[in-house]
């Protein structure tokens, strides 16, 4: 949360747009040469599948010199009921703690964090250059209540975001019989709650986020009868709108980015 700072420059947004265009141009090079065999592979599964994962989360607000870092554990359930005619519901939950570091406010360790994601994909997986469309709702709660090393009070943060997704299935990258998946998302709408009243005589605010993107890659692995994936997720939000808080004036949620690396095991 900040009540100063500049908006995301047009050059940064142009760079993001160019990155998505490059992805669409290079994607055909990643698709399996034997498309028919690949399609049989990704379409054969149905029903319910479960995976557990552990990893590391990093979050940055460059304008404020603020960062959050910490471990995470979680689980993922993928459900493809016959009623969806090849579609699927994907639910994921992660729990962890983060260490807070700020250029102006000092540090605070061990703050709890919870993230969830619920996605609906339309149609069966495919191995073509066209993405499998989907919608996702993500939530993220971080409890930064308490005093930092400099005596500054913290507060809870809660984010809800709606994403438009595209998912691609790529040639298997290992001995696993599962294809790799690449996913790209564009933010449709985001709401960021800051419970500032927990830190002083301020009013809570909800900032609206309208620009952002997310990229995710899951590369499968197999070893001694075990199967899983190595995952990477990158997420970026631009500056939010302005909202009024008592005594602070106009405040906004500054541009931020996060990176998550995780190792999953399928069951």
Longest CA–CA separation in the chain, Å:
63
CA distance 195 to 156: 6
CA distance 45 to 66: 43
Mean pLDDT of 178-191: 94
Position 221 pLDDT exceeds 70: yes
Least confident of 50-54, 129-133, 177-181: 177-181
Q: Which of 223, 191, 194, 195 is nearest to 209 (CA)?
A: 191
Cα first-last separation, the chain: 40
Name the 3-class secondary structure at 211: coil
pLDDT in tens, 28-73: 444 443 434 444 444 444 589 999 999 999 999 999 999 999 999 9
For each of the domains in the chain, give its residue range(s) and CATH number, in order of start.
10-266 (2.40.128.100)
| Between 223 and 253, the higher pLDDT residue | 253
């Amino acid at each position: 949360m900040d009540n100063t700072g500049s908006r995301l420059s047009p050059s940064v947004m142009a760079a993001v747009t160019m990155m998505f265009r490059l992805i669409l141009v290079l994607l055909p090079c990643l698709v399996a040469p034997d498309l028919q065999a690949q399609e049989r592979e990704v379409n054969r599964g149905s029903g319910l599948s479960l995976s557990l994962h552990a990893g590391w989360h990093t979050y940055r607000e460059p304008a404020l010199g603020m960062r959050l870092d910490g471990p995470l554990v979680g689980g993922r359930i993928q459900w493809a009921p016959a009623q969806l005619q090849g579609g699927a519901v994907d639910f994921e939950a992660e729990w962890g703690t983060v260490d807070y570091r700020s250029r102006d406010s000092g540090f605070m360790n061990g703050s709890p964090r919870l993230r969830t994601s619920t996605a609906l994909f339309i149609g069966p997986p495919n191995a073509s250059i066209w993405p499998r469309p989907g919608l996702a709702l993500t939530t993220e709660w971080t409890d930064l209540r308490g005093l930092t090393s400099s005596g500054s009070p913290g507060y809870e943060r809660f984010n809800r975001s709606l994403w438009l997704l595209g998912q691609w299935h790529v040639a298997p990258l290992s001995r696993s019989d599962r294809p790799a998946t690449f996913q790209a998302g564009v933010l449709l709408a985001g709401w960021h709650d800051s419970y500032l009243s927990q830190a002083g005589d301020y009013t809570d605010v909800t900032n609206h986020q309208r620009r952002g993107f997310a990229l995710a890659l899951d590369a499968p692995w197999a070893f001694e009868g075990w199967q899983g994936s190595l995952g990477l997720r990158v997420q970026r939000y631009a500056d939010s709108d302005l909202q009024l808080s008592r005594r602070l004036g106009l405040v906004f949620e500054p541009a931020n980015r996060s990176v998550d690396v995780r190792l999953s095991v399928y069951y």
